[in-house]
Amino acid sequence: MSEDDAALLARCHHPLVRDLAWIVLAPDLIATPWPGRPSRADLGLEDNDHLGTWLDELESTPQGLERRVGDTVDGRMGHYHERLWQFLLDTAPGTRLLASNLRIHQGKRTLGELDLLYRRRNDPTPVHLEVAIKFYLGLPEGPGPVRDQARWIGPGGADSLATKRSHLDRHQLRLTDRAETRLTIRQHTQPRDIGPTQDATIRRQLAIPGVLFYPWPLFMPAPYEAAPDHLRGHWLHWRDWRRLRDSLHRDTRAAWLTKPHWLALPRDEAFLPLRQVEARLAQHFSHPAAPLQIALLDSSAGRRLRRLFVVDDAWPLRIPLPPSAPA
């Protein structure tokens, strides 16, 4: 993020407001042929003064955001991320949320679900927006060529950048091609909203922010389609922790990141002496354990923030199969 973006984030104290600001400011992981996320101009937050004022108002009265998002704070990351987008599209001055999690049926069969349907100010054209928040760790050795998206897997090993990208491309973003989807949109929107005819245009967009974690200390190129400005971190096995720790400045502090607040990094005052977080890491990895994300803050030369995933020495226990080639 730019210095101006970092300054906007720094003025946010409420954790939900910080994560919402991060949604607006963070780049996407990949650039696909599909149109990207709604721009800040679409949202009516195109300049930092407008965005700063909007965030300040949320800081002073966060109750609406808390009501929309609150019951997902202890749940799945994806649900939390979707609720943030719902609130953003519903309250930003340039957009209006029309529907969310809109299920598409063919008789008794469910064909899929649209994450978000919205419209822009002074434009009745409906926009179908799919959203995904992803944190992938790159494997120096794995399926496919070195830049293959299948080499970038989730911390739990359940999915990969390749499988997620394939599902979005082949299924989620193509739901609006179907007549059933257009009928459902007409049934779930007011006539003054959109009411598209069978041949009406429905725009499609994809927002996929997150972080790609590169193996430390090895070199690994970015995956195919990676956005040039994607957010980066590093991952390492617990056995390599001391080597990395010894390379850090002695005043480096650390913060333990807990789901779902993997989006915006904590404010500086939340960072603790490194030895405290290291003791907690040692306890966590004293037996086979799940990967953990932490952040490091080095204030010795400016202000340098780093994201780290620390994983068990046996990680990964599984690697997802690459998606099958289209028929």
Contact 56, 239 (CB under 8 A): no
What would the pLDDT profile of 231-267 be if each residue is shown by its tens digit?
999 999 999 999 999 999 989 999 999 988 899 999 9
Residue pair 118/89 in contact by the 8 Å Cβ criterion: yes
Alpha-carbon distance of 253 to 43, in angstroms, equals 36
Q: Is the pLDDT of residue 302 over 80?
A: no
Token pair 């001055």 is found at 93
Rounded Cα–Cα distance for residues 173 and 99 (Å): 16
- pLDDT exceeds cutoff 70 at 191: no
**pLDDT, position 198:** 45
**Residue 196 has what pLDDT?**
47
Number of domains the chain contains: 1
Predicted local distance difference test score (pLDDT) of residue 171: 85
Please give the share of the chain, as a percent, with pLDDT higher than 70: 94
Residue pLDDT, tens place only, 93-137: 999 999 999 989 887 888 889 999 999 988 888 999 999 999 999
> For the chain, give me the number of helices (H) and strands (E)?
10, 12
Output the pLDDT for position 124: 85
Angle between helices 15-25 and 77-91 (to 10 degrees): 80
pLDDT of the residue at 177: 86
Cα 311 to Cα 289, 314, 318, distances in angstroms: 8, 8, 13
Does residue 327 surpass a pLDDT of 70?
no
Residue 105 confidence (pLDDT)? 81
Structural domain including 324 reads: 1-327
Query: What percent of the chain shows pLDDT beyond 90?
Result: 67
Q: Are 220 and 143 spatial neighbours (Cβ–Cβ below 8 Å)? A: no
What region, left, alpha or beta, does residue 247 occupy, with left being phi > 0 and alpha being psi -120 to 50 degrees?
alpha
In this structure, how many other beta carbons lie within 10 angstroms of the beta carbon of residue 231? 18
Confidence of residue 146 (pLDDT cuts 50, 70, 90): very high
* pLDDT bracket for residue 322 (50, 70, 90): confident
Q: Beta-carbon neighbour count of residue 30 at 10 Å?
A: 25
Of residues 76 and 86, more confidently modeled: 86
What pLDDT, in 10s, does the model give residues 193-202? 544 444 457 8
Quickly state the pLDDT bin for 321 (edges 50, 70, 90).
Answer: confident
Residue 22: name the closest of 32, 11, 30, 33 by CA. 11
Q: What is the pLDDT of residues 267-284, one digit of tens each?
A: 999 999 999 999 999 999
Asked if residue 12 lies in contact with residue 52, where contact means CB atoms within 8 angstroms, the answer is no
What is the DSSP annotation of 79-122? HHHHHHHHHHHHHSTTEEEEEEEEEEEETTEEEEEEEEEEEETT
Helix (H, G, I), strand (E, B) or coil at 18: helix
The secondary structure of the chain in percent helix, strand, coil, rounded to multiples of 5, reads 35, 25, 40
pLDDT for position 181: 87
Nearest to 151 by CA among 81, 206, 218: 218
| Calpha distance 101→211 (Å, rounded) | 25
The pLDDT of residue 301? 66
What is the DSSP-derived secondary structure letter of residue 288? S
List of residues 6+ apart from 13 with CB closer than 8 A: 59, 267
Return the pLDDT at 190: 59
Mutual orientation of helices 3-10 and 15-25 as an angle, nearest 10°? 160
Asked if residue 42 has pLDDT above 60, the reply is yes
